[in-house]
Amino acid sequence: MDVPRYGVGLQFNPELMGWFPFFEEPLDVLEVLFDSVMGPLDGPALVAPRSVELVQQISGTIPLIGHSNYGGDFGFLDLADTTAVRRHVPLARSLDVSWVSNHCFYSDASWSDVWSSPLQFSSAEAVRAAGRARALQELYGVPFAHENAAYYRACPGSDMPEEEFLAQLIGLSGTYLHLDLHNVYANEQNHAAQGYSVRRFLDTIPLDRVICVHMAGGRWIDGQYHDLHDTRVPDPVWDLLDEVLSRAKPSAVILEYETQALFCDGETLDTRQTTEMIQADLERGRTAWDRAYGANSRHTTASGVL
Amino acid sequence: MDARLVWDTWRRILTDDQLVAQVSTGGAEGVSPGDLSPEQLAIIRDYASTPAATIQNIGMYRRGLVRNSLGALSLAPLTSRILYTSTLDPEAVAEDFARSVAYRDYGPNFWSNAGDFVAFLAGLPAFAAPACQDAIAIDAGMIALQRRLSEQAPPVWPDDAGPIKAGPDGDIPWDATRFVASPAAVLVGSSRDIGDWIENPTEFDAGEPLPVCPQQWLIHVPAPSAAREYARLSDRCARVFWALRRGQTVAELATGLPDIPLADIRMLVSSLASLGVIGEQDRLAPGLPDGPAPPAQGGPLPDHISVMLDPSVELLDDELLGYRLLAHGHFSVGMAIPPGEGLLAVVAALKERPIRIGELRARFDNQQIVSAILESLHRNGFLYAAAPSAPSQAELDRMRGRAALLRGSYLRPAFDFSLDEPDLVETVAALLAAADRPPDLVLRAASLDDHAGVLGKLARLRLTGIDQFHSVVVQCQALSGDPELCRALNQLGATVDLEGVDWPGAVTAIPGLEVTTRQCVAVHAVMTPDLTILDSDTRQRAVDWAASVSLTGLRLRLDPDRLWPNGDPGDGAFTRVFEAVQDLENRLGDACIVNLPSDEVLLGNARPLASPVPPSALFERFRLAYLRWRLPVLKGCENDNSWSQVPEVEGKLVRVEGDYLPQHPEVLGLKQGDVLVDVCGGLGRVARRMSAAVGSDGMVISIEMFRCIGELARRFASERGFRNLHFRQGIAQRLPLPDAVADAAVNEWTGAIWELGLGPAMIGEMARVVRPGGRIATTHRLVRLDLARLAEPWVQYAEIYNWIRQSFERPDLTIVAEHIWGQVAPSMIGENATQWRKQYMPRLINPHGVIYTRDENINPCADLYMTIVAQKNE
């Protein structure tokens, strides 16, 4: 499958709507969260009425990619009954996204249990998940990538490291990877004692299948590191990006934030400071990208087709 | 570890407070086996081995539920505003709600989440104010609409429907076009004018007192991804919209709404069509079934939640034809458990304690039946989604409140007004327009004098309105002899309950009674018997008095605290009183206890009475004893013969075109305005078919001995817009009418009457109530002829001809016609058995959801009937 190369973009997160100047930024790509624009699964609307105008605003003006949190992709419902098939697939077509990414979590028609339910890292689950992934990629008709998870604990019954599971999954499914570097970083903060290693992770996953990178921040609370998306991207994560860009050729780097008031050095920033900080991170991302791919290599700076 | 089992077990932990406590302690040994398999225990111990991470995950889950419920509530702007401007802490309320639904994760089913949350909030005392309830009802109506549209999208959305171009110059001929309401629109009523709040929910001030001002709101969804829209409808416009639940031409609308000029109806139709909320039936709702909308469903219950029977549900000892019965003490409703292996076991498992549905399923092989049982119990309010531990009284009250809401969506509405209430007619009209099925109406007045005007207006409302009452009962302490008032009562379809009549009969004549009954108004005497009701002779005095004054029946008010001032006499004494009432009914034809749940309540068709004062402990025992006694009696009215067809299939049994008397009303001498008595009226087929023969100024009085059958007949008729049919309880051998008040009387296909030897008495009664010169007729099948074996006719009652003939040979009757007619006998093959069985009580599962695959009559057969008509001598 062809994967166009875009550059550096931002997640179109509902928490940023109404105050962040999305359309004043030279964004190369925008990542749409299907779950936040779709209509309720038990209602008639594909796009929620409150999102219709928003979707019209972004359609055709900037390259879009789709991100799915709660599709039930890897759960145990019949695929045809999942939110992924009933809402995300038609949304992906309607928005004409270049690719779609999802999460390596279990869910069915549920939301709140998702983040505590990383996939079981076992061969049997790699085979089962690969079958669903392959079928979904066919339905989407565009590349389909899976995001590595941040988790507080692994799923009982896991008997292999996450990176080996992902390598096996991708090898069986013919799908792609969506590499969240902050998730990798967070897992190392929380699970290094149990043997988690960023180094081994990056050396094991098939880097050539990485089509997108997520960058975000988080914080320590009560002895645990949390993937809260409410700080700047930490320096070690930027270092990881440089490394990945030197070893792989992802098509986009997407920054994620989920608050109007970022935390910084123990303080809560106001909206203006938050905006400036996100803009600074975006600029840092663009610099890293250009360093790896060369000048004029992004959607907003390229003169022709890349 | 199997990943699926891990996932299911984790979801169970998330929703189970006991397991949460156990995995949070970090001590794997703290996990008690309970009903858990060794594999599940191993998984739970695995989670317990990382308490910090597991607590983090559980907290994240439960905070997520609260956040998502509050997020979903934003879809219901009025209710959301009510919550956020109240003194309650929204997050704490959302936590209570999450607990009340056993920590269910609705996920992307936002409408379901919003709907359940709104229903939960509706039951909170803080939001009991009428304006709050109005606003919540509007949100609930909108949410139900959205969910309905999710299940079935309309063929044409309002935005695509376009205005109609009708009339002489338009594309659509008015007269030939059948219009219908769009399924993408719903009408919701409010008791107050909350228009400003609908327009701007942020202005909602729940504390602002608003006067009673009934309004009708049209909510519609113009397109799949469009926001819903609201429109205030005038009373006339609402009535037109409501009438278009079924396809109608403008001419038909005008017939049903004679108080609205035809030109105005066209204007209102055009106006509604411009919104796209009505349109041509062929385009808008080609498959729209006739009749009222199906009742709301409770929805499937997921495996991870725990469920329990209401603690007041009791399994009765009685067994009827293999059926066992459940009595719901709280809702006063029964449910039948059909014979079938394992059904009782499922009920027993639900009775013990809250049980996870997944666990229940694991115990039984037939998952389809388990699902059907759970759905059925849930829908009827017997089963709740519960916390895994036994609920507190407050939680039980909440669960019952939610169940009451679900039941309220399909129980018949009931309204109770004083006839002296200002703006009564307008209020009733508004409530009628908002009700989704014909309601019961109780009107109270000290005396009927001075109320002819308002009853006349209500009668006109019924005659001209688009909707119907299921029943109208006028409660009063004094009658009026005003003929106009009696006429209004009949037009209204009302029966009169005359309060304060002495037991066992009035000592002196009751003013106005004879005039009222002679005009065929149904009058019941309300009496408060003492324990002399146990005496057979006293009961006979009551029957004789009631018959002597042509009462329709007796309404008994039984107060156990007065009957047994020394305390509880035990169930045996209660039962003797109930049996005495039953004996009265058997003799008189119509006698029941008014301060105990009616049969319609027990059968799950109507709401229970709201008691103005808390009942005494003795009364509660009395009521529960009544449930235990009455439910088996009601179940005993059912059987498995195939003569109780619903209207949808009745044409198969006796075809309209072949039905003799409706096709030939002239043999009865019937004309418009006449009174026709239909004896043994059953489900009302004959009454409905004869309705046109007496016209809107006439009456068909259908007399049926089984109350539950008569109520069904009344429902079928009211839902189909009949306005001149009167359904009364009574027995053929004592018709509840004075002498010579009817123009004709008929009895069709009542074999048992003849078989029991009651035929002559029935003919005598029919002759009594008909005026001289009036006619009576009876029809019965003589033989069934197997067309391949004509020499061997099948005869049900060999003596039927002689029985009937001899009964008619009376000095006061002259036989004027004996018609022999026939039709090809229908085959039942391919028919759904449910439509042909006498089953009235809600059942745990439907054992008749089958298609007939064989017929006793292999060959084509013909039925031969005889209709015999006699005239009462002058």
Tell me the pLDDT tens digit for each residue of A64-74. Answer: 999 999 999 99
Chain A residues with beta carbon closer than 8 angstroms to that of B94: none
Q: What is the pLDDT of residue B250?
A: 86
Quick one: which of B543, B553, B555, B542 has its CA closest to B594? B555
- Taking the C-alpha atoms of residue B255 and residue B463, their distance in angstroms, rounded to an integer, is 10
d(CA A129, CA A158): 14
Average pLDDT over residues B339-361: 86
- Is there a contact between A39 and B47 if contact means CB atoms under 8 Å apart? no
Taking CB atoms and an 8 Å cutoff, what residues of chain B touch A128? 3
How far CA B586 is from CA of B92, B541, B686, B706, in Å, comes to: 57, 14, 24, 10
Question: What does DSSP assign to residue A35?
Answer: H
Q: pLDDT of B618-638, one tens digit each?
A: 999 999 999 999 999 999 988
Locate all alpha helices (DSSP H) within B480-535, ordered by sequence.
483-492, 513-518
Which residues in chain B are closer than 8 Å to A43, comparing Cβ atoms? 110-111, 146-147, 149-150
Length of chain B: 874
Q: How far apart are CA B393 and CA A23, in angstroms?
A: 56
- Statement: residue B301 has pLDDT above 80: no
Which one of A111, A157, A223 has the shortest CB-CB distance to B1?
A: A157
Chain A positions contacting chain B at CB under 8 Å are 35, 38-50, 52, 70, 75-76, 83, 87, 106-113, 115-117, 119-120, 122, 124-125, 128, 152-153, 155-157, 223-224
How high is the mean pLDDT of chain B? Answer: 88
Nearest CA among B277, B267, B275, B286 for reference residue B166: B267
3-state helix, strand, coil in chain B (%, to 5): 45, 20, 35
Tell me the percentage of chain B whose pLDDT exceeds 90.
51
Alpha helices in B532-610 (DSSP H): 536-548, 560-563, 571-588, 599-602
Contact of B584 with B539, CB cutoff 8 Å: yes
The listed range with the strongest mean pLDDT (A231-245, B29-43, B287-301) is A231-245
CA–CA dist B706, B603 (Å, integer): 13
* Backbone phi, psi, residue B710, to 5°: -60, -35
pLDDT value, residue B298: 41
pLDDT class of A1 with cuts at 50, 70, 90: confident
What percent of chain A stands above pLDDT 90? 90
Which letter, b or e, does each residue of B290-310 get, where b requires 16 or more Cβ atoms within 10 Å of its Cβ?
Answer: eeeeeebebbebbebbbbbbb
Given a contact cutoff of 8 angstroms between Cβ atoms, the answer to whether B181 and B311 are in contact is: no
Q: What per-residue confidence (pLDDT) applies to B169?
A: 62
Instruction: Quick: pLDDT tens for A264-301.
Output: 988 999 999 999 999 999 999 999 999 999 988 999 99
User: From the candidates A74, A110, A196, which should be mutated to test the interface with B, based on the most B CB atoms within 10 A?
Assistant: A110
Which residue in A44, A122, A157 is closest to B153 by CB distance? Answer: A44
| Cα distances (angstroms) measured from residue B125 to each of B106, B129, B130, B187, B385 | 25, 8, 11, 26, 21
Identity of residue B725: L
DSSP letter (8 states) at residue A278 = H
Name the closest residue on chain A to residue B1, using Cα atoms: A157
**B-chain residues within 8 Å CB-CB of A109?**
106-109
CA distance B157 to B282: 14
Please give the structure tokens belonging to residue B224.
Answer: 């799949």
Q: Pick B597 or B434 by higher pLDDT.
A: B597
Which of B245-259, B295-309, B370-384 is the most confident on average? B370-384
Mean pLDDT of B268-272: 91
Of B52, B62, B109, nearest to A109 by CB-CB distance is: B109
E-strand spans in B670-716?
675-679, 699-704
Mutation site for B-interface testing, chosen from A108, A111, A228 by largest number of B Cβ within 10 Å: A111
Cα dihedral value A124, A127, A132, A136, nearest 10: 150
* Residues B178-233: tens digit of each pLDDT: 888 998 999 888 878 899 999 888 888 877 878 777 788 999 999 998 999 999 99
- Residue A175's pLDDT is what? 97
Report the C-alpha gap between A131 and B20 in whole angstroms: 33
Question: Are A113 and B153 a contacting pair at CB < 8 A?
Answer: no
Nearest to A108 by CA among A130, A82, A145, A85: A82
pLDDT for the residue numbered B691: 95
In tens, the pLDDT along B685-724 reads 999 999 999 998 999 999 999 999 999 999 999 888 888 9
Task: Report the residue of chain B nearest A191, measured CA to CA.
Answer: B53
Q: How confident is the model at residue A258 (pLDDT cuts 50, 70, 90)?
A: very high
**In the β-sheet with B313-320, what is the strand arrangement from edge to edge?**
B313-320, B323-328, B333-337
Residue bearing the bigger pLDDT, B578 or B261: B578
Q: What is the pLDDT of residue B434?
A: 67
Of B4-13, B161-170, B171-180, least confident by mean pLDDT is B161-170
The pLDDT of A216-241, averaged and rounded, is: 95
The owner of tokens 């109240």 is B86
* pLDDT of B168: 58
Q: Tell me the residue type at B780.
A: H
**What integer pLDDT is reported at residue B291 of this predicted model?**
34
Q: Where are the alpha helices (DSSP H) in B203-356?
A: 235-243, 250-256, 262-274, 281-284, 343-352
Contact indicator for A219, A231 with CB cutoff of 8 Å: yes
Locate tokens 């005494």: which residue?
B616
Residue B181 to residue B242: CA distance in whole angstroms: 8
Element (H, E) at A224: strand A224-226
Q: Find the helix packing angle between B262-274 and B235-243, rounded to 10°.
A: 80
Residue among B3, B11, B42 whose CB faces A113 most closely: B11
Contact B776, B769 (CB under 8 A): no
Which residues of B612-707 form beta strands (DSSP E)?
675-679, 699-704
ipTM over 0.90: yes
Question: How many contacts (CB atoms, under 8 Å) link A and B?
Answer: 138
Quick check: B466 and B242 in contact, CB under 8 A?
A: yes
User: How many separate helices (H) and strands (E) can be counted in chain A?
Assistant: 10, 12
pLDDT of residue B260: 81
Question: Are B1 and A156 within 8 A, CB to CB?
Answer: yes
| Selection from A248-262, B159-173, B600-614 with the highest mean pLDDT | A248-262
The tens digit of pLDDT for each residue in B724-757 reads: 999 999 999 999 999 999 999 999 988 788 989 9
The confidence score (pLDDT) of residue B623 equals 96
Q: If you ran DSSP here, which 8-state letter would residue B353 be given?
A: S
- Give the mean pLDDT of A108-127: 95
| B415 phi, psi to nearest 5 deg | -125, 145
Label each residue of B395-429 as H, E or C.
Answer: HHHHHHHHHHHHHHCCCECEEEEECCCCCHHHHHH
The pLDDT, as a whole number, for residue A303 is 59
pLDDT of residue A109: 87
Average pLDDT over residues B45-53: 91
CA distance B476 to B420: 12
B857, two tokens = 């009559």
Q: How confident is the model at residue B612 (pLDDT cuts 50, 70, 90)?
A: low
Q: Of B6, B54, B150, which is closest to A155 when you measure between CB atoms?
A: B6
Residues of B in contact with A117 (CB under 8 A): 7, 10
pLDDT at B73 over 70: yes
The nearest CA of chain B is from the CA of A104 a distance in Å of: 13
Residue B173 scores a pLDDT above 80:
no
| Per-residue pLDDT at B286 | 61
CA proximity to A299, closest of A26, A64, A28, A3: A28
Q: Which residues of chain B does A47 touch, with a Cβ-Cβ cutoff of 8 Å?
A: 225
B810-826: average pLDDT: 93
Residues 6+ apart with CB under 8 A from B802: none
Kindly list the distances between the CA atom of residue B804 and the CA atoms of B377, B654, B755, B758, B809, in Å, as whole numbers in the listed order.
47, 21, 11, 11, 9
The predicted pLDDT at position B289 comes to: 42
pLDDT surpassing 60 at residue A306: no
| Cα distances (Å, whole numbers) of residue B857 to B784, B791, B862 | 10, 15, 11
Residue of B20, B43, B73, B105 best to disrupt the A interface, most CBs of A under 10 A: B105
Inform me whether the pLDDT recorded for B166 exceeds 70.
no
Residue A136 to residue A131: CA distance in whole angstroms: 9
Return the SS3 of B526.
strand
CB contact under 8 A, B108 and A109: yes
Residue B196's SS3 state is: helix
Residue with tokens 């009226």: B681
**Beta-bridge partner residues of B181:** B278
Distance CA A158, CA B431 (A): 61
Alpha helix segments (H runs only) across B442-507: 452-464, 483-492
Choice among A219-233, B139-153, B205-219, B457-471 with the minimum mean pLDDT: B457-471
Residue-wise DSSP of A165-213: HHHHHHHHH--EEEEEHHHHHHHHHHHGGGT--HHHHHHHS-GGGEEEE
B107/A153 CB distance under 8 A: no
Q: Is the pLDDT of residue B300 over 60?
A: no
d(CA B468, CA A153): 62
Q: pLDDT at residue B297 above 60?
A: no
User: CA B444, B447, B453, B456: dihedral to nearest 10 degrees?
Assistant: 60
Q: What is the mean pLDDT of residues A186-214?
A: 96
Amino acid at B443: L
Q: Cα separation of B544 and B550, whole Å? A: 10
Q: Is 70 exceeded by the pLDDT of residue B465?
A: no
Q: Band of the pLDDT at B257, cuts 50, 70, 90?
A: confident
Report pLDDT digits (tens) over B378-421: 889 999 887 777 777 777 877 787 787 778 777 888 888 899 88
pLDDT of residue B208: 80
Question: Chain B: residue nearest A222 by CA?
Answer: B52
Nearest CA in chain B to A86: B108
Q: How many Å apart are CA A121 and CA A203, to the nearest integer? A: 17
Exposure letters B545-565 (e unless 16+ CB within 10 A, then b): bbeebbbbbbbbebebeebbe
Contact criterion met (CB < 8 Å) for A112 and B105: yes
Residues of B in contact with A52 (CB under 8 A): 225-226
Task: Enumerate long-range contacts of B91-98, CB under 8 Å, 24 or more apart.
Answer: B91/B66, B93/B121, B93/B124, B94/B65, B94/B66, B94/B69, B94/B70, B95/B62, B95/B66, B96/B120, B97/B69, B97/B121, B98/B62, B98/B65, B98/B66, B98/B69
Q: How far apart are CA A82 and CA B655, in angstroms?
A: 49
Q: Which amino acid is residue A30, in one-letter code?
A: L
Nearest chain A Cα to B148, which residue? A43
Q: What are the tens digits of pLDDT across the range B310-349?
A: 999 999 999 998 899 999 999 999 999 988 878 899 999 9
